[in-house]
Structure 1
Amino acid sequence: MNLEQVDKKYLLHTYARNYVNFKRGTNATLFDEKGDDYIDFTSGIGVVSVGHGNRRLADTICEQAKNIIHISNLYLIEPQALLARKLVELSGYDMRLFFANSGAEANEGAIKIARKYGEVDGEVKRYKIITLKYSFHGRTITALKATGQEAMHTYFGPFPDGFVYAESIEEIESLIDDHTVAVMIELVQGEGGVEPQDKEKVQALSKMLKEKDVLLIVDEVQTGIYRTGELLASNLYEIEPDIITLAKGLGGGVPIGAIMTNLKDIFKPGDHGSTFGGNYLSCAAANEVIDILEEEKSDGTLDERIIYFEERLKEIERDYPHLFEKSVGLGLMRGLRARSSDILSAVVKKSFEKRVLVLKAGRNTVRFLPPLTIFKEEMAEGIKRFRSALDEI
């Protein structure tokens, strides 16, 4: 029985896999068992932020694993405290943090914070949360219901109630009522088509919500940790949310999620928790990831990569108008909007054949999430292969 057969026999069929067996990686280049190289424009769906085989991250993980991997949150965890301080200081927001294991968990925690905020003297007064059409907030039952895509709600009910979906930023205000406690948005919708929100509209929304005492939750699971060019997309949009959620690129591949909030005393012991969340290993890794990316941001290297990659995608948009309507996105969270779902599927399939990895996203979008440390040579080679794929469609 070969490895593909083992996979199909013993694992639930929740993924439409490409059956390639990667054995090692160097930054944005992966190598399979035959030694063939692939340019990775996916970074594990935005997770491998400092690249594959990053020596600094690997050394940090190994060193930490030699000492303590996990105790529990019943005791002080030094790298957790240091990571919380680092994120607060770099973000510029006066907040406290809670660490979880994933983006879905972080969003669940954010919803719990909002719901508790809506209680008065133990009685539920406000509980509704408004999210946007095309949003994606995770695959747990509550996070799935928060997701504004009806196709995601086909099975798994009954769902928790209290979620309202707005067609656009502009519609949100009209949906607020006496039971509304929060609005939850992504500043760039990832699964929803790599679609950035309009900055002025977001700023107006933030101002209006503060006036109405409605919390603003910003889901930065994909946009956070320099993916859009700043530590947080919230920094880029120049707003101050009440709650921010993080995951994906924070650990460089080690699972970790985080909630940041200015509601510093909203939880008391016992209100929330996580067995694995924020343990020694994940927080040690995240501290090193932040250090690496902060250095690359400070010396201008990250900004140069962003400009180069954006220019290459705009050239593709110009050169292949029969395939793509426009380029979208921010930072190194980019997309090309295909003219049909058939074109999208053909592009992703043909790209894989040319050994360049890209992703599908909503609204017929080819999504690009390369490692933030990707070399210019890797970008150039990946774009070359991508163009070769397009030439055959």
Structure 2
Amino acid sequence: MSNTKDLDKKYVLPTYARADVEFVSGDNAKLYDANGKRYIDFASGIAVCSVGHANKRVNDAICNQLSKLTHTSNLYYIAPQAKAAQKIVEASGYDMKCFFGNSGAEANEGAIKIARKFGEKEGELKRYKVITLQHSFHGRTITTVKATGQSYMHNYFGPYPDGFVYADDINHVESLVDDHTCAVMIELVQGEGGVQPLDREAVQKLAKFLKSKNVLLIIDEVQTGVYRTGKFLASNYYDIEPDIVTLAKGLGGGVPIGVVMTTHKDVFSAGDHGSTFGGNFLSATAACEVMDILDEMYDEGTLQKSIDYFDDSLEKFYSAHRDIFTSKVGIGMMCGLRVKDGDTLAKIILNAREEGVIVLRAGRDTLRLLPALTITKEEIDEGFEALNRVLSSL
């Protein structure tokens, strides 16, 4: 551990406030550090390791592909990419096509480019404005930082691209739509904003309004997508039909991948957008296997059983500690508990790691839980037993 810390300090830019731990192996929802200590992982790499750590099916699929080809570039046809696109579109239930990149930020950049080209083609006026919500998070590129509706992130790196407008809440969006608006981009459950689900009826009302105005609805499903909320997309849960959807995180099971998919299949022409690595043999093969595993779990009902068991366990934990938590939030396996103050939240996260369970912060006051969708009842029980010890020691 000390050697890794020394190398990191000497050679890696200090953009992360790293926890004092080095993980070296894992097994489903369990992690092991360099000292052999075991942890229950209620974070899954920030919703990335959707089918757990060291998933044998994913590993076997990747190893088999690596023995043949890793990368050729998007100048040629890539069979796993085409298959991954088919699986994603069919699971979504929408009539869309996909573009593959490497991250959620890239997917959101692609969504913004689609929306602005749509505004150029369809409107008499140049439509370029994109409305997002306060407390949103859409990425860390120059453009997606500006799209993020959190003012503290709009520092150091300006000047930023123009054309982003922030609504106070979902009910404020309609009043901001004007002749220059091409799209509205929202997360149905705001992750970094505190695991805050949007009101279902308000979202449906907004979707209908935007259709009437020929303004695109972009749903950022980077964190909510790939069965995180129990449905393949949170958009399915909200019963809406977006024009553009973005995915990343859990799709590759730990291999970097991002996807933007849209009903506007002809908006891009050759050369309008591209990616050297996006959707290559490695990442697309991983995505195909992850999709197969989670599709099976969804069809068999085992996914919903896991969600129900985790939710019941979380409810018991919340009810036992009402002196610490003020409310329970989230949908499916994207869960949060509001903590009475930030200092207490910081202590919980630190002490949880010492007790052998990994949890996250969201916003200023939310304990965030994002377990692997394949987590077992035994792993859930062990994790909450550790959290109960943490709360008892405060």
Amino acid in the other structure paired with 1:324: F
Amino acid at match of 2:140: R
Structural mapping, 1:188-207, within 5 Å = 188-207=189-208
Partners of 2:89 and 2:341 lie apart in 1 by 42
Q: 2:118 aligned with 1:141, yes or no?
A: no
Partner of 1:294: 295
Report the equivalent of 2:163: 162
| Aligned equivalents of 1:211, 1:387: Cα separation in 2 | 50
Q: Residues 216-240 of structure 1: CA distance to partner in whole angstroms, max 9, x if unpaired?
A: 0000000000000011111111100
- Hey, what does 1:209 align to over in structure 2? 210
Query: Counterpart in 2 of 1:46?
Result: 47
Report how far residue 121 of structure 1 moved.
8.3
Partner of 2:371: 370
Query: How big is the shift at 1:2?
Result: 2.3
Return closer, same or farther for 1:122/1:320 CA change in 2, 3 Å cut-off.
closer
1:299 aligned partner, one-letter code: E
- Match of 1:226, SS? coil
- Give the match's secondary structure for 1:74: coil
Q: Secondary structure at the match of 2:259?
A: strand
Q: In structure 1, list runs of 5 or more residues that go unmatched.
A: none
Q: Which whole-Å CA distance do the structure 1 matches of 2:294 and 2:369 have between them? A: 19
The aligned amino acid for 1:362 is G
C-alpha separation between the residues in 1 aligned to 2:124 and 2:285?
Answer: 40
- The alpha-carbon deviation at position 300 of structure 1 amounts to 1.1
Alignment of 1:49-60 (within 5 A): 49-60=50-61
Q: CA deviation at 1:90?
A: 1.4
* Aligned-partner Cα distance in 1 for 2:156–2:90: 42
C-alpha distance in 1 between matches for 2:154 and 2:310: 35
Instruction: Output one character per residue of 1:5-63: Cα deviation in whole Å (capped at 9) or x when no partner.
Output: 22112111111111212111110001112221000001000000000011000000000
Aligned equivalent of 1:112: 113
1:342-392 deviation digits (Å, cap 9, x = unpaired): 111111111111110000101410100000000110000000001111111
Instruction: Say how many residue pairs are matched.
Output: 393
Match of 1:227 in 2: 228
Partner residue in 2 for 1:309: 310
**Range 2-11 or range 109-118, more displaced:** 2-11
1:14 aligns with 2:36: no
Distance in 1 (alpha carbons) for counterparts of 2:149 and 2:347:
27
Within 2, Cα distance between the matches of 1:283 and 1:2? Answer: 34
User: Is the 2:125–2:180 contact (alpha carbons within 8 Å) kept by the matching residues of 1?
Assistant: no
CA distance in 2, matches of 1:23, 1:330: 31
1:144-188 CA deviation, whole Å, 9 max, x = no partner?
000000011122111101000001110000011111110000000
Counterpart of 2:346? 345
TM-score, structure 1 normalization? 0.98
Tell me the SS of whatever aligns to 1:5.
helix
Letter in 2 for 1:359: L
Secondary structure in 2 aligned to 1:269?
coil
Amino acid at match of 1:281: L
On the 8 A contact 2:218/2:243 being kept in 1, the answer is yes
CA–CA distance in structure 1, aligned partners of residues 244 and 143 of structure 2: 17
Letter in structure 1 aligned against 2:22: N
Which residue is 2:84 aligned to?
A: 83
1:120 Cα offset (Å): 3.8
User: Shift of the alpha carbon at 1:123?
Assistant: 8.4
**Cα shift readout 1:79-133 (whole Å, capped 9, x = no counterpart):** 1111111111111100011000000000000000001011148986110000001
Match of 1:392 in 2: 393
Distance 1:117 1:32 in 2: 49
Separation (CA, whole Å) in 2 of partners of 1:122 and 1:390: 56
Moved over 4 A (4+): 121-124
Structure 2 CA distance for aligned equivalents of residues 223 and 122 of structure 1: 31
Amino acid in structure 2 at the alignment position of 1:28: A
Partner-residue secondary structure (3-state), 1:302: helix
Q: Distance in 1 between matches of 2:102 and 2:124?
A: 30
2:182 corresponds in structure 1 to 181
8 Å CA contact retained: 1:337, 1:363: no
Question: Which secondary structure state, in structure 1, belongs to the residue aligned with residue 51 of structure 2?
Answer: coil
Q: Which amino acid aligns with 2:294?
A: L
Name the SS for the 1:245 alignment partner: strand
CA distance change for structure 1 residues 363 and 2 in 2, over 3 Å: closer, same or farther?
A: closer
- 3-state secondary structure, aligned to 1:118: helix
Equivalent residue for 2:332? Answer: 331
User: Between the two proteins, what is the percent identity of the paired residues?
Assistant: 61
Separation (CA, whole Å) in 1 of partners of 2:211 and 2:41? 41
One-letter amino acid matched to 1:277: G
Tell me the residue number matched to 1:285.
Answer: 286
Q: How does 1:244-255 map to 2 (within 5 A)?
A: 244-255=245-256
The separation in 1 between residues aligned to 2:125 and 2:146, in whole angstroms, is 20
Tell me the equivalent position of 1:32: 33
- Aligned mates of 1:100, 1:63 — CA distance in 2: 22
Gaps of 5+ in 2: none
Partner of 2:127: 126
User: What does 1:58-77 correspond to in 2, within 5 Å?
Assistant: 58-77=59-78
Matches of 1:2 and 1:280 in 2, distance apart? 34
Separation in 1, partners of 2:223, 2:360: 14
CA-atom RMSD in angstroms: 1.2
CA distance in 2, matches of 1:384, 1:122: 57
Alpha-carbon distance in 2 for matches of 1:260, 1:136: 19
